[in-house]
Amino acid sequence: MTSATDPIISIDHVSHYFGSGRLRKQVLYEVSARVDPGEVVILMGPSGSGKTTLLTLIGALRSTQEGSLKLLGEEMYKARNKQLVRLRRNIGYIFQAHNLLNALTARQNVQMSLDLHPNLTSKEKKTRSLEMLEAVGLLDWANYYPQELSGGQKQRVAIARALVSSPRVVLADEPTAALDKQSGRDVVEIMQRLARQRGSAVLLVTHDNRILDVADRILQMEDGRLSTVQREEVIA
Ligand code: ADP
Ligand code: MG
């Protein structure tokens, strides 16, 4: 187990390549970074710079090819698939394709992520799911199916699903892109509360200047290279 002060995400000289042979193309160059418990870190950068690739590596959705990448103290470079699958249970993913199940209502979609937690009764799971839907402003939509919801509403269901189990790690790829100003703020503030209260690490890819103030730090990806930037530089 990790102690309260160990980094939750620790990245050391990670490089990544797509393709092989003559088509092999490097997309990440010796990326190093860490995210500590309770921190909200925003990752910015132009399209194609490697943000999503880095997020999928941290999220144990791809294997680390080069360098060291530790999540909750566990090394993912050369990790076995079984270990990656187990690590994924600690992660709340909010990716652009929200992948809600059409056969389930909003509440059931959210509740799904609590099914990995056998110590909760089904009544408790239901209550928590409804509370989370309320937090994203969708309590009245709990019994609706995805095809009855707008794009922004579906995105908020996906956010509720990712956060309902209070994961130690939240990885969000442009979570506010489909949301209006107020809903966008609401969801990042929920993530910030989770970080503060549970000591979770939140890593957020965004182009949205309106939410930069929730970040403890801002990282910038450019052509596969990562650097730290000051908030003032981004807003100016
Ligand atoms: P961003 O999220 O910053 O827009 P990505 O991480 O999606 O950037 O992409 C970084 C680079 O890697 C881009 O040049 C993209 O075309 C390439 N890339 C992303 N995914 C793949 C893939 N599965 N196969 C080959 N190239 C990819
Ligand atoms: Mg991307």
Report which residue type is found at 67. Answer: G
pLDDT at 202 over 60: yes
Residue 173 located in a structural domain: yes
Q: What is the pLDDT of residues 139-159, one digit of tens each?
A: 999 999 999 999 889 999 999
Cα separation, 77 vs 232, in Å, equals 35
Please state the domain count of the chain.
1
Start-to-end CA distance of the chain, whole Å, equals 42
Residue 68 located in a structural domain: no
Residue 27 located in a structural domain: no
**102: Cβ–Cβ under 8 A, 6 or more apart, which residues?**
145, 146, 147
Residue 7 located in a structural domain: no
User: For residue 188, what is the domain's CATH number?
Assistant: 3.40.50.300
Q: What is the pLDDT of residues 9-28, one digit of tens each?
A: 999 999 999 999 999 999 99
Q: What is the pTM of this model?
A: 0.93
Which among 20, 27, 221 is the best mutation to test ligand 1's pocket, defined by most ligand atoms within 8 Å of the CB?
27
Q: Which ligand is nearest to the CA of 96?
A: 2
Residue 17 located in a structural domain: no
What pLDDT is attached to residue 2? 57
Residue 26: strand pairing partners = 17
Query: Residue 116 — very low, low, confident or very high, per pLDDT cuts 50/70/90?
Result: confident
- Enumerate residues with CB within 5 Å of ligand 2 (an ion): 51-52
Query: How far is the centre of ligand 1, averaged over its atoms, from the C-alpha of 17 (Å)?
Result: 10
Residue 111 located in a structural domain: yes
Which among 15, 17, 18 is the best mutation to test ligand 1's pocket, defined by most ligand atoms within 8 Å of the CB?
18
Residue 15 located in a structural domain: no
Query: Residues near ligand 1 with C-beta < 6 Å?
Result: 18-19, 27, 45, 47-53
Query: Residue 96 — very low, low, confident or very high, per pLDDT cuts 50/70/90?
Result: confident
Q: Under a CB-based contact definition with an 8 Å cutoff, are residues 144 and 136 in contact?
A: no
Domain that holds residue 159: 35-62+88-235
What pLDDT is attached to residue 236? 59
Q: What is the largest CA-CA distance in the chain?
A: 56
By percentage, how much of the chain surpasses pLDDT 70? 97
Q: Under a CB-based contact definition with an 8 Å cutoff, are residues 28 and 224 in contact?
A: yes
Helix H, strand E, coil C: the string for 114-139 is CCCCCCCCHHHHHHHHHHHHHHCCCH
* Backbone torsions φ then ψ of 156, nearest 5 degrees: -70, -35
Long-range contacts (CB closer than 8 Å, 24 or more residues apart) made by 187-190:
187/136, 187/156, 187/159, 188/40, 188/214, 189/214, 190/135, 190/136, 190/159, 190/163
Q: Which ligand is nearest to the CA of 44?
A: 1
Q: What is the pLDDT of residues 154-176, one digit of tens each?
A: 999 999 999 999 999 999 999 98
Q: Which ligand is nearest to the CA of 20?
A: 1
Residue 48 located in a structural domain: yes
Edge-first strand order for the sheet with 74-75 is: 25-35, 9-18, 66-71, 74-75
